[in-house]
């Protein structure tokens, strides 16, 4: 497989994603901005 930097821009790229979840539960849960702010102290710091 060629290196990503040597691929022509017109060459399509495909990705396969496998997602598993508990039966009967939503695959994705969106959270409100308020919850993100409230839990900000739990996030890993970004490298500078």
Is 21 in contact with 27 (CB distance < 8 Å)?
Answer: yes
Mean pLDDT of the chain: 84
Q: What mean pLDDT do residues 13-23 have?
A: 88
Greater confidence (11 vs 13) lies with 13
Q: What is the DSSP letter of 9?
A: T
Q: Which of 9, 13, 10 is nearest to 1 (CA)?
A: 13
Is the pLDDT at 12 greater than 90? The verdict is no
Q: Tell me how far apart the alpha carbons of residues 15 and 13 are, in angstroms, rounded to a whole number.
A: 7
Look at residue 17 and give its three-state secondary structure.
Answer: coil
Taking CA atoms, 2 is separated from 7, 8, 15, 17, 48, in Å, by: 7, 10, 15, 21, 32
């Amino acid at each position: 497989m060629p290196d990503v930097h040597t691929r022509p821009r017109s060459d399509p790229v495909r990705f396969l994603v496998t997602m598993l979840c508990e039966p009967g539960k939503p695959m994705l849960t969106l959270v409100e901005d308020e919850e993100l702010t409230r839990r900000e102290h739990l996030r890993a710091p970004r490298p500078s």
